[in-house]
């Protein structure tokens, strides 16, 4: 297991907020589904013709057809994941590994912190870090049960989603929901650029990684219902935590680098994550845009990886 990975068309009716019992999908008797927004089947698109990080495969924009689906309005919280573990006895990849990746700025001289990435020294591998102990054995989740659960691998996310009768969203579903349909916008709230003063989401303010002014009030994760929701009713589709999707990470460019990454993905099965995290800043990781994406192996986990659940709808 890699304890942490790389550095960092029209809706026929408006999307609506509903409990899953009001949506066509059926909830699992084993776990309770969250509040969702339902989208009808439609023509839409994925990607952008104005990529900022073309090496990530953000472009070009590609037309797509999607079936009806529902997506939870917020990321899965620590409290919900704790209920899942209590009911099933599930053990996450990080717990099995015995360590996970933690942003060094969240550590307070932890003796469990070991080597980091040479190209990203702000990441540390911490023995005993997991969803239960996000910064290591001496840390607790009791005062942040409404925060997104972190240190979650793709396999962990799939297991929880199945427990509540759902699945992970596809990349095109995630983007369609973030845009509120097939309209073109850079962020879930529109095209206005967040800055260190104009706060729309939980990202880094200040100089990364030396100093976070915490203008948004958070050094690490924020509660899942922080900040204003999108017009469709979604919280924190930009920033806070990276969200796993069900798609394999591929880059469709013909560049030599992209071909190599495609080959690696086919062999390693990297999965797409969307949305950026609390560590993103325009100067360093400008990936809180809707079209932005990264790929990580399914067993990767860290203090900024989480997920939200999607459901099939008729």
Residue-level pLDDT, tens digit, the chain, 314 residues? 443 344 442 122 333 344 443 333 444 458 889 999 999 999 999 999 999 999 999 999 999 999 999 999 999 999 999 999 999 999 999 999 999 999 999 997 666 666 666 678 899 999 999 999 999 999 999 999 999 999 999 999 999 999 999 999 999 999 999 999 999 999 999 999 998 889 999 999 999 988 999 999 999 999 999 999 999 999 999 999 999 999 999 997 545 554 454 455 444 589 999 999 999 999 889 999 999 999 999 999 999 999 999 999 97
Output the pLDDT for position 115: 63
Output the pLDDT for position 284: 86
Residues 78/133, Cβ–Cβ less than 8 Å: no
Domain segments of the chain: what residues?
A: 76-164+184-309
Which top CATH class is 76-164+184-309? alpha beta
Output the pLDDT for position 253: 56
pTM above 0.85, yes or no: yes
Output the pLDDT for position 30: 80
Output the pLDDT for position 252: 76
């Amino acid at each position: 297991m890699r304890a942490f990975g790389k550095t960092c068309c029209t809706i026929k009716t408006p999307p609506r907020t509903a409990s899953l019992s009001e949506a066509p999908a059926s909830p699992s008797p084993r776990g309770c589904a969250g509040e969702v927004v339902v989208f009808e089947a439609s023509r839409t698109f994925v990607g952008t013709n104005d990529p900022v990080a073309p090496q990530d495969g953000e472009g070009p924009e590609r037309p797509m057809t999607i079936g009806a689906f529902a997506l939870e309005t917020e990321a899965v919280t620590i409290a919900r994941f704790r209920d899942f573990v209590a009911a099933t006895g599930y053990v996450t990849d990080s717990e099995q590994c015995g360590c996970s990746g933690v942003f060094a700025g969240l550590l307070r001289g932890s003796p469990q912190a070991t080597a980091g990435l040479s190209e990203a020294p702000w990441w540390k591998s911490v023995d005993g870090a997991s969803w239960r102990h996000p910064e290591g054995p001496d840390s607790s989740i009791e005062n942040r049960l409404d925060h997104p659960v972190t240190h979650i691998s793709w396999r962990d996310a799939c297991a929880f989603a199945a427990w509540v009768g759902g699945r992970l969203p596809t990349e095109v579903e995630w983007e369609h929901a973030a845009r509120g349909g097939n309209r073109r916008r850079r962020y879930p709230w529109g095209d206005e650029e967040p800055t260190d003063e104009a706060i729309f989401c939980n990202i880094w303010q200040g100089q990364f990684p030396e100093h976070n002014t915490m203008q948004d009030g958070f050094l690490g994760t924020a509660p899942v219902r922080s900040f204003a929701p999108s017009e469709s009713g979604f919280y924190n589709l930009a920033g806070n935590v990276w969200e796993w999707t069900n798609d394999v990470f591929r880059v469709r460019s013909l560049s030599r680098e992209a071909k190599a990454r495609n080959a690696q993905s086919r062999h390693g099965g990297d999965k797409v994550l969307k949305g950026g995290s609390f560590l993103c800043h325009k100067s360093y990781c400008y990936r809180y845009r809707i079209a932005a994406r990264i790929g990580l192996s399914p067993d990767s986990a860290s203090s900024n990886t989480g997920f939200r659940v999607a459901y099939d709808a008729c």
